[in-house]
Each structure stands twice: as structure tokens, then as C-alpha cells.
Structure 1
């Protein structure tokens, strides 16, 4: 929601000099490579993504301050929480929501950060990808199972039965 929260996130997710994350270079963390601490922390700061969620109008209003901290690789919009915070739960096509999405895309592009969103509808994925969303998550596992089950039941119910 705020620049201060963004600063805390970077401090806790990045190694020095960008942040103050604790250092442990166990073999699993380094993918079994021989790194010095300096090599590993430089690699991790460069390669590991820090993704910040924006789920409120306050976050949209502060998006430039949030991004100005540096070290953020992507913004992920949480549309369910955002629309709930706006008092229009679930209305992701509402003009206020679309304005918020566009503002986040604009600010992310200004700061060289990937704008992103979680969507459950492929038409919305296509729409927002065309408008500049570059980090999109689609649907969720239980919806895939539900949709596949519905399609299978529809097919099975249409099969001829023997007498």
C-alpha cells in the first residue's frame, strides 16, 4: 500500500547492498555451485524476483512511490481484493478498476517493472496482455479440474446408452 511497506519488502528480500536479508549459502540454495558469499548475493539480487502485490486503491494511489524504492521486478494486481477494497467486489470490468489497471501499467513502464495481474477468464488475459500486462497468472488448479470435469460430464451424458 505504501512506500514504507515497499522499503521493508526490499530490505527483507534483497541482500546487501540493496537490502538486509540474512545470508546462507547452503548447497541447495546455490544449486550446488561453489559460490563465495559475494558471488551468491550478487547473483541472487540479480536473478531472484521480488514481486509486490497491489490490492487496494491506496496501493494504486501510491504506485509511483512504491516503485521508486527500486529492486521490485514485478507488480501483481490482486483483482478480487482490489475490487473488494473499492467497494465493488468482483467487478473487474468496472471503469474504476480498469483505470487502476491502466495506471499501474503506466507507472510500471515508467520504472521498468513488469506489470501483472491474476485473471480467471482468457478473454481478460488477451485484453490486458494487449494493454501491456507482462506478468499474468491465469486461473487456478481447482478451476481447471472443475472445467475439465464439467466438459467430461457433458460428453458422457451425450453418449448413447444401451438398453
Structure 2
């Protein structure tokens, strides 16, 4: 079985699912649906490290080959180290603006002598049972994804994508559009141009580029923009849209039943 890092380098059309609800059941149910990975967001959620660990356990225990990617809040080597010790498949780091920042991410993910990640046993190494094997192989098995979400990041997209050790680049659509002054204008020409710049930077560096889609109706548009992978759907949105659909259908059915039929005397 290929790990997520290998998939980024050898496969296209990888599909992920966005998780922001901090419950293992949500992670487990999602992992049974055939996604290559789930993205557990800790940047814009109150999820604790213990919660993320239990969600990762749920994903690992589900049928299938889904893996866990965690979005950390920032380019903080301490936070990155603690998340990786949980034993997840990789990390995503937001708001990367320069090649130097991208190198700092790679350094934080990588064990010495090539990086600065602290060495200790934990869930990632079966609590020490596989300690030496894990440390020897971790640098080649952890997926490192960086987000481009600002004008500065856009200006440096080629250099960021070309950093050795970056496995994928991710366009954060909400932040990028906001930084460009066109928040939510997904079909704006300036936003299209920005996407094309990042996708081209990825192509030149032979690094896959992905983005996030909430509305299923936008999937075709993003595929046509030549993204290599997508995170499709978000747990909270599935709940919201699903609840709205069934409530509305019930209300319409009751209303139809309550309307007397018109008949001739």
C-alpha cells in the first residue's frame, strides 16, 4: 500500500475530506467512504491534541486505506513535532509566503541531521516498540503540504513549490481571495489568474497542487483548472445541507398533504 506521500508523487486525482468536528465517529465514518485522506483542521477549530490523536485512531481503525493529514495552526516546529508524534501521515501548514518559510517547514518535519525534529517515542513508533525503524524511515514517509494564501505567497509560488521536501502545495481559496480583495469571487479573472500561477508553479516543480471545494457544483470548475487533487466537502457543511434537505422535504410533503384537492361539485 502506498502512503500519502508516495501518492502525491505518483498519482493524480487524489481525494480528501475536510474534518472540523472533533469526534472520532465523524472521522471513522468519513474514512469508510474511500477517500485517500482526511484533513483534520486545527487552525480554525478548538480541537486539542488528544482529540486529534483519537480521530487518527478512528481513521486507522476504519476499513480502507484512508490516512490522516493534519493542518497545524502555524509554522511552529513544536506544534508540528507534537502532531507528528501522534503518528499521522503528514501535515499541512497555512500561510507560507516564501521559500525560506517552506524550508523551515521541511526542517521541522525532518529528523536530524537534516532537520530539527525532536526524537522521542510515541504513538508514531508504537510507543517505542518500533522506535529505531520509525526514526530511520519517517523522513521518507511523512507528507509535507504547504498552503499559498496571500499575494506574497503567490509572488513566490515558484520558489515555494521548488523547495526540496515539499510534497504538495495547497491553494487556500478563502484566504487567497480575501487577500486579493475579491473574497468569495470564485469566478473572478484575477482569482483564475492566481490559481493558474500556482498550478503552473507546481507543474514546473513537478509538485501536485490542490484546493478545497465545499459546493459540489464547483468540482468540475476546479478539475478544469488542472488541480492535481481536491479536498471535496466538509463535515459541518454535510450536516447543514443534509439537515436542511430532509427538513425542507418533510415540510413540503406535509404542506401538500394539508392542501385540499380541488374537485367539481
Retained in 1: the 8 A contact 2:106–2:165?
yes
State the SS of the aligned residue for 2:212: strand
- Pairs within 5 Å for 1:80-91: 80-91=174-185
Match of 1:21 in 2: 117
Pick from 158, 181, 188: which aligns with 1:64? 158
Deviation per CA, 1:64-92: give whole Å up to 9, x if none. Answer: 11122211111111111111100111112
RMSD over equivalenced CA pairs, Å: 2.2
Relative to its length, the structure with more strand (as a share) is 2
Retained in 1: the 8 A contact 2:125–2:131?
no
Pick from 19, 26, 30: which aligns with 2:125? 30
Retained in 1: the 8 A contact 2:144–2:167?
yes
**In structure 2, how many angstroms separate the alpha carbons of the residues matched to 1:146 and 1:36?**
43
- Pairs within 5 Å for 1:151-162: 151-159=245-253, 160-161=257-258
After TM superposition, what 4+ stretches of structure 1 lie above 6 angstroms from structure 2?
none
TM-score by length of 2: 0.55
> How many residues are paired up?
161
**In structure 1, how many angstroms separate the alpha carbons of the residues matched to 2:107 and 2:240?**
40
Give the gaps of 5 or more residues in structure 2. 1-96, 261-265
Answer yes or no: is 1:93 the counterpart of 2:187: yes
**In structure 1, how many angstroms separate the alpha carbons of the residues matched to 2:99 and 2:180?**
20
Change (3 A) 1:34 1:111: farther
TM-score by length of 1: 0.87
Answer yes or no: is 1:141 the counterpart of 2:235: yes
**In structure 2, how many angstroms separate the alpha carbons of the residues matched to 1:21 and 1:144?**
36
Q: Which stretch shifts more, 7-16 or 122-131?
A: 122-131
Retained in 1: the 8 A contact 2:124–2:134?
no
**In structure 2, how many angstroms separate the alpha carbons of the residues matched to 1:43 and 1:130?**
36
